[in-house]
Each structure stands twice: as structure tokens, then as C-alpha cells.
Amino acid sequence: MKKILYLLPIITFFIFYKIYDIFIASEILTIISFVTCILDWIMYKKINKINFLNFITIIFNSLAIFFHNSYFIKWKITIIYMFISIVLLFSQVFSKKPILQKFLENKIKISNIEWKKLNFFWALFFLFCSILNIYIMLFFSENTWVNFKVFGLSILTIFSILTTVIYINFKMLKKK
């Protein structure tokens, strides 16, 4: 059920964009994001980190709708990804443990050096995606940008997750 809650906003955005336009899709996305946050709270008694990002979505979409300017929507993912990249890098430099390790060390047993490598990989991944988003946003059509946002970023993320899983399994097998 949780997975559906997390996918619902992006799916509805994509469908309404294809049927109407980016502003109607953003209005629907804003409503759905708000509803998923409420449902997350009702069902699980907390707001998940992913739904916390929906609050950012609500703010940017509201600005886009109010000013009738799609760049608020297009910059949103860049800002979120840049923020995540910066947090990962700061945790790498200024913390005893990288943030990925803090979140996942109970589930995954690898060395501190491997955690730093993974943390750095994901920081670079989010930085790369944010820069790629800027490039596509500025030099391609809105339709291409929407397709990239929905499918391109999803495929890149899945590829990065698979790469991470393979890397972790390789390191865990090597350790044994």
C-alpha cells in the first residue's frame, strides 16, 4: 500500500499532463500530494520522508499555479536533488558516519570505507540528475522534460539502485 501512495502523485501528474497541461497536472499533483501526506499520517501515524518531499512539491506547484510559470515545477526536482546531494556530501565530510550508513547500517553490513564510497556515489548521482534536469529543462520541449522527469529519472534511479545492490552483494560475498 505504501508503494502505491508514493507512486500515486507522479502517475497522476503524468496522466493529467498528457490529457490537459502542466498547470492542471500541477494542481492535481498538489491535491494528491496533500492527500497522500494525510493518508500516510492516518495509516502509519507519521509522515514518511518521501511524503515530506511532497510538502516541497505543494509549495513549488502552488507557486507555479499562482504565477502561471512552469519553471517553478521544473526547478523543483533540481533543488530537491541538489539538496540531497549536499546533505550526502556534508555527512561524508562533517560526520563520523555518512548519512546512508546511519540509515542502513542495521540492514547492511559493510565496512566504513564502503559506506563512504556508496554515500559519495549517491551524492554524485543526485548531483548528476539535477544537472541533467537543468539541461533538459532548458534545451528541450516541456513534453520531453515531463517524459524525462517521469521515466528518465525513474530509470536512472532504478539503475543506480541495482548498481548499489550488486556492489553491496559483491562486497559482502568478498568479505565471506
Asked whether residue 100 falls in the same domain as residue 174, the answer is yes
- Local confidence band at 89 (pLDDT 50, 70, 90 cut-offs): very high
What value does the mean pLDDT of the chain take? 89
Asked whether residue 159 falls in the same domain as residue 81, the answer is yes
Question: Domain end: 68, 84, 114, which one?
Answer: 68
* Per-residue model confidence (pLDDT) at position 130: 97
Q: What is the mean pLDDT of residues 29-42?
A: 83
Asked whether residue 61 falls in the same domain as residue 96, the answer is no
Q: What is the mean pLDDT of residues 37-44?
A: 80
* Per-residue model confidence (pLDDT) at position 60: 87
Ramachandran assignment for 45, one of left (phi > 0), alpha (psi -120 to 50 degrees), beta (any other): left
* Per-residue model confidence (pLDDT) at position 176: 67
Asked whether residue 57 falls in the same domain as residue 93, the answer is no
* Per-residue model confidence (pLDDT) at position 6: 72
What is the number of structural domains in the chain?
A: 2
Asked whether residue 85 falls in the same domain as residue 14, the answer is no
Asked whether residue 50 falls in the same domain as residue 89, the answer is no
Asked whether residue 64 falls in the same domain as residue 88, the answer is no
Which ranges in the chain belong to alpha helices (H)? 2-19, 22-44, 49-67, 71-94, 99-104, 112-139, 142-147, 153-175
Model confidence at 1: pLDDT above 90:
no
Asked whether residue 53 falls in the same domain as residue 78, the answer is no
- Local confidence band at 16 (pLDDT 50, 70, 90 cut-offs): very high
- Taking alpha carbons only, the member of 99, 100, 153 closest to residue 131 is 153
- Local confidence band at 50 (pLDDT 50, 70, 90 cut-offs): low
Asked whether residue 29 falls in the same domain as residue 58, the answer is yes
* Per-residue model confidence (pLDDT) at position 128: 98
Question: Domain end: 50, 68, 86, which one?
Answer: 68
Residue 20's SS3 state is coil
* Per-residue model confidence (pLDDT) at position 29: 87
Asked whether residue 99 falls in the same domain as residue 61, the answer is no
Owning domain of residue 160:
70-176
Asked whether residue 99 falls in the same domain as residue 160, the answer is yes
